[in-house]
Amino acid sequence: MPDNVSATKYLLVINGKPEGPFSIDELKQRKIKPTDFVRSHTMDDYQEAHEVEELRGLLGFSKQHLAPQYFAGFDQRWMASALDWFMVSLVVIFFGVIALLFTSKKSTQMVIALSVLAVIPIVNLVYHIVMEASAKQGTYGKQILKIKVTDLLGERIGFAQSFGRNLAKILSLLTLFIGYLYNFFNSRQQCLHDVVAGTLVIKDRLI
């Protein structure tokens, strides 16, 4: 096999069913289209061929920017948020309990307990900023619910945009949750902080 041809093989979705795996040459022979779904052993899920960097390079595809069509509903977003708060709280409380084991002084224990309550929202904020800007595009709660955060073109957001999105959640809270209920009144199911930050929460495509 020539050095410039990848040895990676891909499953190809044909008539709704995965077939293969096929080599790059075999995909060429089948006249694979940019919108055909493929998956290699290193990929977590199926993607359109134009989304795979290797295939774009070897098959001459250009990456297409298609507006997302499947948006996460309020129930999915709420459940993901509840899961994240639970997981973050559990971790912070665990370390708080460990700290309590090293002191028997009541005043110190009180400070630790109050600190845990103050730290949970801060850790949760940092956790969301980092995870939503990561390659997973979402917190563990969102990953469990199969949803992720993107920009308006469905692309991964950067750290600055993730920071702005999560900071803008303050606006949703200050407007007595109108910012969250806005999710029910727009076609892309954005909350107020999504509109401010230029983000979407979409469903992962599954086959």
Q: Tell me whether residue 64 is in a domain.
A: no
- Say which range, 58-62, 161-165, 196-200, has the weakest mean pLDDT: 58-62
Mean per-residue pLDDT, 90-96 = 96
Same domain, 46 and 85: no
Same domain, 80 and 113: yes
Same domain, 29 and 80: no
The C-alpha angle with vertex 118 and arms to 113 and 124, in degrees rounded to 5, equals: 120
Same domain, 184 and 104: yes
Q: Tell me whether residue 47 is in a domain.
A: yes
Same domain, 171 and 140: yes
Same domain, 85 and 143: yes
The strand pair at 199-203 and 17-22 is best described as unpaired
Mean pLDDT of the chain: 88
Q: For 99-143, how does the pLDDT look when each residue is reduced to its tens digit (9 = 90+)?
A: 999 988 888 989 999 999 999 999 999 999 999 999 999 999 999
pLDDT(86) > 90: yes
Same domain, 97 and 199: yes
Q: Tell me whether residue 68 is in a domain.
A: no
**Structural domain boundaries enclosing 105:** 74-203
For residue 44, which amino acid is it? D
Give the integer Cα–Cα distance in Å for 69 and 191: 16
Q: Tell me whether residue 105 is in a domain.
A: yes
Count of structural domains, the chain: 2
Give the integer Cα–Cα distance in Å for 169 and 177: 10
Q: What is the pTM of this model?
A: 0.70
Same domain, 51 and 128: no
Q: For 4-21, how does the pLDDT look when each residue is reduced to its tens digit (9 = 90+)?
A: 556 789 999 988 889 989
